[in-house]
């Protein structure tokens, strides 16, 4: 047997989920697509007492839009997000991102909410949701609360999600006329976790940057909104000097960790290179 | 122990298993279907790819209990008696394997590709295989096999 023993419950209702979370606390783990959780269980990095399988909860897989807001249910599979016309139309940045999220056999199973709630700093979707200013819907026994992506991600695999809450969906502001997007990542193999990557959305008014949002992954202990680089871009003309200023500002925004791919300074260098390329793509 | 029942390669099967049993262990150890291989058990290598309700997924990162009631196809479910499935035959014809460890996962992934894209380009095949590792072949003959298999399946 690979994983340590646990009890398994196929939850049919939200109340059942909250009962189990109240009873087991941090000895309970929510099982959605399982594409990160099962691997950590197989390696015995995690040994929960009970797995609460939420795959059969109803109404959490929908992807819909009212024109202003795109709603992605927590249980929407990556493959469904990839193919969704709502996503292509209202969140092209997510549409550009999805082909980089793992590969088909994993996308068929992994979920949007699972990726967000797991909050891997090297994963694409947490950073993209920050770049888009997404709002997450957290369900507790007594109701829902909404938390902006900027406040949701708090550290290495740490989020604002409380022990007795479940992430049930994301609300993403639909792209507006004139907003442009770019997505770039460097990975050893396509579909692997990126060494470093970024997602950008913003506008060019004439040749002046406006409303820029740059979300980085693989560049620190959490998905990062590059506030200094954004400040260096907004209101400035799209020229070499501005790009250089934005690249230099990344020193204040990013704090990459050295790993098997290389030292932190190499990742900083790659982040600066990707920023220049992504801004060129955005402007193209 | 809970009883887990599903349909595997068209046959109804049932076994009492611990909740922590992975789908791949259920297939291999309880049903004796050892064609599905375990490479990494962390969803990296793709040796354990099977089809669950028609979609390819990695059977090392799904619990057997999660496949309760599902329709599962493994590599053993492809051939018709002694006649290899056209995709299997294409791997044989094109020498698409050396040690063969990754082959079941390669074939099952390939079939999900041609279901969605019956006439893939070489580039599309190579991109599709990003979730399947082979340490022998350098992939070249695997890609050739899948292109030939796709052509055979188009008829």
Instruction: Look up the ipTM and state it.
Output: 0.93
Instruction: Give the per-residue pLDDT at A107.
Output: 96
- Test B19 with A104 for CB contact under 8 angstroms: no
B41 to chain A, any CB pair closer than 8 A? The answer is yes
- Decide if A254 is inside a domain: yes
CA distance A200 to A127: 10
Instruction: Give the per-residue pLDDT at A188.
Output: 86
Pairing of strands A7-10, A50-53: parallel
Residues of chain A with Cβ-Cβ distance to B18 below 8 Å are 1, 5
Residue of A1, A42, A105, A111 to mutate, interface with B, max B Cβ within 10 Å: A105
CA B78, B80, B81, B86 torsion-angle sign: negative
CA distance A201 to A229: 13
Residue A224 in this model has a pLDDT that exceeds 80: yes
Are the CB atoms for A217 and A124 separated by under 8 Å?
Answer: yes
Pairing of strands B55-58, B11-16: unpaired
Are the CB atoms for A196 and A274 separated by under 8 Å?
Answer: yes
Residues of chain B with Cβ-Cβ distance to A191 below 8 Å are 130-131
Residue A193 in this model has a pLDDT that exceeds 90: no
Q: Which residues contact B102 (CB under 8 A, 6 or more apart)?
A: B37, B39, B45, B46, B47, B132, B133, B134, B135, B136
Q: What is the pLDDT of residues A63-93, one digit of tens each?
A: 999 989 999 999 999 999 999 999 999 999 9
Residue A143 in this model has a pLDDT that exceeds 90: yes
- A147 and A232, same domain (yes or no): no
Residue A19 in this model has a pLDDT that exceeds 90: yes
Q: Å from B95 to nearest chain A CA?
A: 24
The last residue of one of the domains, among A145, A173, A201, is A173
Q: What is the pLDDT of residues B127-152, one digit of tens each?
A: 999 999 999 999 999 999 999 999 99
Are the CB atoms for A251 and A269 separated by under 8 Å?
Answer: no
- A72 and A165, same domain (yes or no): yes
Looking up residue A274, the CATH number of its domain turns out to be: 3.30.390.50
As given in the structure block, the two tokens for residue A118 are 């797991």
Residue B88 — pLDDT band, cuts 50, 70, 90? very high
Q: Which of A234, A203, A217, A233 is nearest to A270 (CA)?
A: A217
- A28 and A92, same domain (yes or no): no
Instruction: Give the per-residue pLDDT at A241.
Output: 98
**Secondary structure class of B35 (helix, strand, coil):** coil
Residue ranges of chain A whose CB lies within 8 Å of a chain B CB: 1-8, 10, 31, 34-35, 38-39, 41-43, 51, 53, 55, 79, 102-106, 108-109, 189-191
- Average pLDDT across chain A, whole number: 96
- Decide if A58 is inside a domain: no
Q: Which of A39, A125, A74, A82 is nearest to B55 (CA)?
A: A82
Q: What is the pLDDT of residues B95-118, one digit of tens each?
A: 999 999 999 999 999 999 999 999
| Total count of domains within chain A | 3
As given in the structure block, the two tokens for residue B123 are 């580039």
Residues of chain B with Cβ-Cβ distance to A189 below 8 Å are 130
From the list A10, A43, A103, the residue facing B130 with the nearest CB is: A103
- Decide if A2 is inside a domain: no
Phi then psi for residue A70, to 5 deg, are -95, 130
Q: Which CATH class is domain B86-154?
A: mainly alpha
- Test A2 with B25 for CB contact under 8 angstroms: yes
- Test B61 with A4 for CB contact under 8 angstroms: no
Q: Å from A39 to nearest chain B CA?
A: 4
Residues of chain B with Cβ-Cβ distance to A31 below 8 Å are 63, 66
As given in the structure block, the two tokens for residue A104 are 């088909």
Q: Å from B141 to nearest chain A CA?
A: 19
| CATH hierarchy code of domain B3-77 | 3.10.20.30
Mean pLDDT across A111-123: 97
Are the CB atoms for A191 and B133 separated by under 8 Å?
Answer: no
Range list of H helices, B1-94: 23-25, 86-93
Q: Which residues contact B41 (CB under 8 A, 6 or more apart)?
A: A2, A39, A42, B22, B24, B48, B60
Phi then psi for residue A259, to 5 deg, are -150, -165
Looking up residue A111, the CATH number of its domain turns out to be: 3.30.465.10
CA distance A244 to B149: 51
CA distance A57 to A37: 18
Instruction: Give the per-residue pLDDT at A2.
Output: 87
Mean pLDDT across A252-259: 95
Residue A1 in this model has a pLDDT that exceeds 80: no
Residue A194 in this model has a pLDDT that exceeds 80: yes
- Test A38 with B66 for CB contact under 8 angstroms: no
Q: What is the pLDDT of residues B28-71, one digit of tens each?
A: 999 999 999 999 988 899 999 999 999 999 999 999 999 999 99
- A69 and A162, same domain (yes or no): yes
Are the CB atoms for A94 and A63 separated by under 8 Å?
Answer: no
Are the CB atoms for A250 and A237 separated by under 8 Å?
Answer: no
Instruction: Give the per-residue pLDDT at A71.
Output: 98
- Test A1 with B20 for CB contact under 8 angstroms: yes
pTM for the model:
0.95
Are the CB atoms for A210 and A203 separated by under 8 Å?
Answer: yes
Query: What proportion of chain A, given as a percentage, has pLDDT over 70?
Result: 100
Per DSSP, A77 falls in state B
Pairing of strands B71-73, B3-8: parallel
Are the CB atoms for B144 and B94 separated by under 8 Å?
Answer: yes
Q: Which residues contact B128 (CB under 8 A, 6 or more apart)?
A: A103, A104, B109, B110, B113, B120
The last residue of one of the domains, among A114, A146, A173, is A173
| Location of each CATH 1.10.150.120 domain in chain B | 86-154
Range of the domain at A71: 63-173
Q: Which of A104, A260, A115 is nearest to A187 (CA)?
A: A260
Identify any residues that bridge with A50 across adjacent strands, giving them in sequence order. Answer: A7, A28
Residue A192 — pLDDT band, cuts 50, 70, 90? confident
- Decide if A183 is inside a domain: yes
- A73 and A12, same domain (yes or no): no
Mean pLDDT across B2-21: 97
- Test A38 with B43 for CB contact under 8 angstroms: yes
Mean pLDDT across A51-73: 97
CA distance A112 to A94: 11
- Decide if A1 is inside a domain: no
**Secondary structure class of A169 (helix, strand, coil):** strand
| Location of each CATH 3.10.20.30 domain in chain B | 3-77
Classify the phi-psi angles of A102: left when phi > 0, otherwise alpha if psi is within -120 to 50, otherwise beta.
Answer: left
């Amino acid at each position: 047997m690979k994983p340590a023993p646990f009890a398994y419950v196929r939850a049919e209702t939200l109340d059942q989920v909250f009962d189990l979370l109240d009873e087991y606390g941090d000895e309970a783990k929510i099982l959605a697509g399982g594409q990160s959780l099962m691997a950590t269980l197989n390696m015995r990095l995690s040994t929960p007492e009970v797995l609460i399988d939420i795959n059969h909860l109803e109404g959490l897989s929908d992807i819909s839009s009212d024109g202003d807001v795109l709603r992605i249910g927590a249980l929407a599979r990556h493959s469904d997000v990839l193919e969704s016309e709502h996503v292509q139309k209202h969140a092209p940045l997510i549409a550009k991102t999805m082909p980089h999220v793992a590969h088909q056999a994993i996308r068929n199973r992994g979920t949007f909410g699972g990726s967000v709630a797991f909050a891997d700093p090297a994963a694409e979707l947490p950073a993209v949701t920050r770049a888009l200013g997404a709002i997450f819907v957290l369900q507790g026994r007594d109701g829902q609360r909404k938390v902006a992506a900027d406040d949701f991600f708090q550290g290495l695999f740490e989020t604002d999600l409380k022990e007795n809450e479940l992430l049930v969906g994301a609300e993403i502001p639909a792209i507006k006329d004139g907003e442009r997007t770019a997505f770039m990542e460097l990975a050893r193999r396509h579909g692997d976790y990126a060494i470093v990557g970024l997602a950008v959305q913003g506008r060019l008014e004439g040749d002046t940057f406006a409303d820029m949002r740059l979300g980085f992954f693989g560049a620190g202990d959490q998905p990062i909104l590059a506030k200094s680089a954004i400040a260096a871009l907004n209101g400035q003309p799209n020229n070499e000097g501005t790009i250089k200023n934005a690249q230099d500002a990344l020193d204040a925004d990013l704090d990459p960790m050295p790993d098997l791919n290389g030292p932190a300074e190499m990742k900083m260098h790659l982040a600066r290179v990707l920023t220049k390329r992504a801004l060129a793509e955005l402007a193209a | 122990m809970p009883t887990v029942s599903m349909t595997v390669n068209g046959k109804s099967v049932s076994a009492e298993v611990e909740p922590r049993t992975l789908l791949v262990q259920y297939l291999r150890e309880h049903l004796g279907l050892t064609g599905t291989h375990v490479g990494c058990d962390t969803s990296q290598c793709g040796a354990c790819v099977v089809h669950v309700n028609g979609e390819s997924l990695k059977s090392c990162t799904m619990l057997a209990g999660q496949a309760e009631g599902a329709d599962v196809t493994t590599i053993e479910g492809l051939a018709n008696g002694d006649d290899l499935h056209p995709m299997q035959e294409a791997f044989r014809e094109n020498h698409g394997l050396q040690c063969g460890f990754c082959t079941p996962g390669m074939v099952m992934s390939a079939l999900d590709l041609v279901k969605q894209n019956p006439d893939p380009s070489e580039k599309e095949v190579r991109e599709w295989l990003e979730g399947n590792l082979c340490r022998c072949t350098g992939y070249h003959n695997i890609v050739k096999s899948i292109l030939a298999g796709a052509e055979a399946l188009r008829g």
